[in-house]
Structure 1
Amino acid sequence: MLTTHAEPTAGEMTTTQSNVRVYAWVVFALTVGLLLSDYMSRQVLNAVFPLLKTTWGLSDTRLGSLSSVVALMVGVLTFPLSVLADRWGRVKSIVLMAAMWSLATLGCALSTNYGEMLLARAFVGIGEAAYGSVGIAVVLSIFPPRLRATITGAFMAGGAFGSVLGMALGGAVAAHLGWRAAFGAMAIMGMVLVVIYRIVVTEKRIASLQPAIGNREAPGGMRMSLRALLKGLFSTRSVVCAYVGSGVHLLVPAAVWSWLPSFLNRYYGMETGKAAVTAAAFVLVTGVGMVVCGNLADRFSKEAGERKWTIAIAYCVICFVLLTIGLRLPPGTAQLVLIGAGMFFCAGAAGPSGAMVANLTPPSIHASAFATLTLSNNLLGLAPAAVLTGVVADHIGLLGALQLVPFAPLVAALVFVIGKRHYSGDLDRVNALREEASH
């Protein structure tokens, strides 16, 4: 008896591809939604500082520690927890992490004293520690390599949008219902997203998407010795340049976000509230810039992946020129416009940098690779920016300190130039190793 096997029709293939694309974007939206929840839970504290100070009579040092403890937990635990997520399973890890920071944020709402709040905030940091690196690894695994800069830039921009939303919504809720309700609202939003994510996203469905878009990755989690892991993370000069360049160039947004309200207050005479709202607009400009710059990097590098290095260099140089000129103009509309334009490009290299890291590391360790990128971003840019700017400001004034900040992307551009010189050869070696491993 002769049996025949029908080939899928063009219409069926188109439908299948369409379903794959739709589901991939649903996963992206939910993962970014959790990132927004991450930063909203982290930043809502800043909106209720005055209320906590009045309620418990806290010193500024204790208030600051409630914020710093989150950053401390993130800095210390990002890498080890990301490695565990690669081994245990990324989707399961995301659900666990998001549930932890949401419950911890609820714990903040129920805290009756400073000690309880400090403990709850520490668990917020533990939950959030590896989310950025694991979340971006998940979404990159289900999109084709040609979209990596776009996806990375858009994902990382979620931190800027979440920070603004956390402060704005938290402040509005606190003004009407009190500080406990502000924490409670953030917790409820997080828990609702956790439930939806748990129902919609699974390791099996994620794994099924990867062959359709040209990625190959074992669904059950990675098993690798520490020596092999480190070799994969730091195997080439160009990937090290991607780590370092990304971290250094992010010194600009971190410094300007921290000090722009004070700058507007001192040099424009804006009251505290107006200065904060105006500064938030610049944060949003940075977030939009990350999305647009990442997308442009993908569009202009379709035919040649190494162009992403050139584009990252261009973003850094443009940022340097705009901010250097803007910060030397007298206070006024022209100065604010140029600063805003510079802020549009100040984190533009984040997307290309993330794409380069993904291209130069095995998919099975992408969460660990992005944890390394996150660690570099924090150590070289995000963490020291505000403190270093403040130290310099104590000696030459805030304006003088801010005028030095744009030299950071110039340094990053030089690092990216070195990475570009080695990229082609490094990528050939990495691809050759991947081919050997697959046979």
Structure 2
Amino acid sequence: MAVSQYMNDDEETSLGIPRRYAWIVFALTFGLLISDYMSRQVLNAVFPLLKGEWALTDSQLGLLSGIVALMVGLLTFPLSLLADRFGRIKSLALMAMLWSLATLGCALAESYEQMLIARFLVGVGEAAYGSVGIAVVVAVFPREMRATLAGAFMAGGMFGSVLGMALGGVLAQHFGWRWAFAGMAFFGLALAVLYPVIVKEARIAPRRLADAASQAALKAQRPLRTLYSSRSVIGAYVGSGLQLFVGGTVIVWMPSYLNRYYEMGTDKAGAVAAIIVLCSGVGIILCGMLCDRLGHARPDRKISLAIGYCLGSCLLLSLAFALPPGTAQLVLICLGMMIAAGTNGPSSAMVANLTHYSVHGTAFATLTLANNLLGLATGPLITGKVSDLIGLDNAFQLVPLVSIAAAAVFIYTKRHYHSDMALLRGKMLDAAADEPQASARGGLGVCAHSRS
């Protein structure tokens, strides 16, 4: 029996959605994701200014960054579950409004404590955006494009980081760090107002079966169980999170690294760091495209590619941070970052294929939870503490080694992927076989109700 028949979720959710409208939805959702990361990463560009003005340690700076990722990790699951049930579009608009207002609060902060509270609220607002937003995107396009679209969508985080650090560095250099936050806030508020005007829940909702019997069959499948019912999906969560420890840490601390060891001002450091992050964003898209192309006939190849991305980035970044500051080091950092976050596309595709379409928002929330608790939240914080002890340059030499652990998890995942997909397929076929019986029972129930 061909392996490929097991590899895709049987539900095609994009039926009836015009392709032009799907791309409009993607563009607006992508734009909000850029705003999300602009608000999150603008802080990194002004690290040197805050450190000097408020006499902060690297641990305190790491907490200002990590608190956002921590709240995303803690709240993404419950908020995504609510969005799946009560409307993804309204939820996305409310999230964008909250994080933009909180970013404006960062601009008005008069102390470290006030800044920490504002950053906490930024994290609350951004908590479920990535998971719910990507669920909207994969719902309006054919399933064959999942890795590419997931990679492109997640690359929006990198592009947002680029704009946040580059524009934030320029604004901070010429107008002060408060205007760096204010500029990001105004952009987000404008998109938050526009989004629900154009994107409508009724037009982007996946195809649903409306009759009572089909709803009963769906309930019988207990789709929430697919979030954690296989070793492969758990491996996708853990491997993705460990790998983002590396990419997320480099993004957060790169402006400070350039400021300290290359003696760059905030504007130049932000611009150079933005180029590095841009390389990472382009790499996510290219890695996702390669995943879809090579994995069309042999979908398990997406896991092999994820393993290669982990080991390749470990080698390149380890070599980079072993070199003294200079052009060669920067080139190797750019090359390493091009594949460091390449696991986003394969991991997202695996999660989509291994979970039920009706809980994709919650499934991506679980992936986001792992990404933040294992990578984006812990990476900058741990690196900041290590930096206080041995210096940021030495701390950076240790960071790429986490990719080895990520590769080991993906190797374990690959061993079980075929059997887990076959098991999921079998459960869905069993549920479909039970549907005629549910339909018959539903019909009898309707007749009994009419007689009563």
Q: 1:228 to 1:151 in 2, by over 3 A?
A: same
Q: Offset of 1:158 from its aligned partner? A: 1.3
TM-score for both structures, normalised by structure 2: 0.80
The verdict on how the C-alpha distance between 1:234 and 1:188 changes in structure 2, with shifts beyond 3 A counting, is same
- In structure 2, the partner of 1:94 is 92
Instruction: Give the CA deviation at 1:269.
Output: 5.1
Q: Is the aligned partner of 1:194 residue 2:192? A: yes
**Matching residue of 1:29:** 27
By how many angstroms is 1:356 displaced?
0.1
Distance of 2:427 and 2:372 partners within structure 1: 30
Q: 1:295 to 1:107 in 2, by over 3 A?
A: same
The yes-or-no answer on 1:301 pairing with 2:299 is no
TM-aligned CA distance change 1:409 to 1:51, over 3 Å: closer
1:435 equivalenced with 2:426 (yes/no): no
Q: Which moved more, 1:60-69 or 1:420-429?
A: 60-69
Q: How does 1:160-179 map to 2 (within 5 A)?
A: 160-174=158-172
CA distance in 2, matches of 1:338, 1:110: 38
Aligned mates of 1:187, 1:349 — CA distance in 2: 30
Cα distance in 2 for residues equivalent to 1:199 and 1:67: 32
Aligned to 2:373, which of 371, 379, 396? Answer: 379
Matches of 2:180 and 2:394, distance apart in 1: 37
User: What's the offset of the Cα at 1:415?
Assistant: 1.3
CA distance in structure 2 between the aligned counterparts of 1:129 and 1:189, rounded to whole angstroms: 19
C-alpha separation in 2, matches of 1:318 and 1:48: 31
Instruction: Give the Cα–Cα distance (whole angstroms) in 2 for the partners of residues 86 and 134 of structure 1.
Output: 8
- Residue from 350, 353, 370 that aligns with 2:344: 350
* Stretch of structure 1 that moved more, 235-244 or 391-400: 391-400
Residue identity in the other structure for 1:158: G
Gaps of 5+ in 1: 1-15
**TM-score, normalization: structure 1?**
0.82
Q: 2-side partners of 1:411 and 1:68: how far apart? A: 22
Tell me which moved more, 227-236 or 153-162: 227-236
- SS of equivalent to 1:250: helix
Higher mean C-alpha displacement, 332-341 vs 157-166: 332-341
Aligned equivalent of 2:440:
none
- For residues 114 and 341 of structure 1, do their structure 2 counterparts lie closer, same or farther at Cα, with a shift above 3 Å needed? closer
Please, which moves more after superposition, 127-136 or 93-102?
Answer: 93-102
- The answer on 1:152 being equivalent to 2:159 is no
On the 8 A contact 1:217/1:363 being kept in 2, the answer is no
Letter matched to residue 150 of structure 2: T
181-190 or 241-250, which moves further after superposition?
A: 181-190
Map 1:13-28 → 2, pairs under 5 A: 20-28=18-26
My pick for the range that moved more, 104-113 or 185-194, is 104-113
1:85 corresponding residue in structure 2: 83
Q: Can you give the 5+ residue segments of structure 2 that lack an aligned partner in the other structure?
A: 1-13, 436-452
**Paired letter, 1:316:** C
Query: Are the structure 2 counterparts of residues 394 and 170 from structure 1 closer, same or farther at C-alpha, using a change threshold of 3 Å?
Result: closer
- Following superposition, the deviation at residue 433 of structure 1 comes to 2.2
* CA deviation after TM superposition for structure 1 residue 348, in Å: 0.5
Q: For 2:294 and 2:136, locate their aligned partners in 1 and report how far apart those are by CA, in whole Å.
A: 25
The number of residue pairs the alignment matches comes to 412
Q: Is the 8 A contact 2:261 2:325 kept in 1?
A: yes
The aligned amino acid for 2:238 is V
Please give the alpha-carbon distance, in whole angstroms, between the structure 1 residues aligned to 2:320 and 2:61.
Answer: 34
Using the TM superposition, give the Cα deviation of residue 368 of structure 1 relative to its aligned residue in structure 2, in angstroms. Answer: 1.1
Task: Tell me: CA distance 1:252–1:29, structure 2 relative to 1, closer, same or farther (3 Å).
Answer: same
- Alpha-carbon offset, residue 193 of structure 1: 1.4
Please give the residue correspondences for 1:34-113 in structure 2 after superposition, counting only pairs within 5 Å. 34-47=32-45, 58-60=54-56, 67-109=65-107
2:232 corresponds to which of 238, 245, 261 = 238
* 2:201 is equivalent to residue 203 of structure 1: yes
| Residue 288 in structure 1 maps to residue 282 in structure 2 | yes
Deviation at 1:238, TM superposition (A): 0.5
2:306 alignment counterpart: 312
Provide the C-alpha distance between the structure 2 equivalents of 1:116 and 1:322, rounded to a whole number of angstroms. 39
Q: Distance in 2 between matches of 1:269 and 1:117?
A: 26
Amino acid at match of 2:149: I
Percent identical residues: 58
Highest RCO, 1 vs 2 (Cα 8 Å, sep ≥ 6) = 2
Q: Name the CA distance, whole Å, in 2 between partners of 1:36 and 1:427.
A: 33
Distance (Å, rounded) in 1 between the aligned partners of 2:315 and 2:63: 36
Confirm or deny: 8 A CA contact 2:169 2:271 kept in the other structure: no
More moved, 383-392 vs 174-183: 174-183
Contact 2:309 2:342 in 1 (8 A): yes
- Going from structure 1 to structure 2, the CA distance change for 1:17 and 1:285 (only over 3 Å counts) comes to same
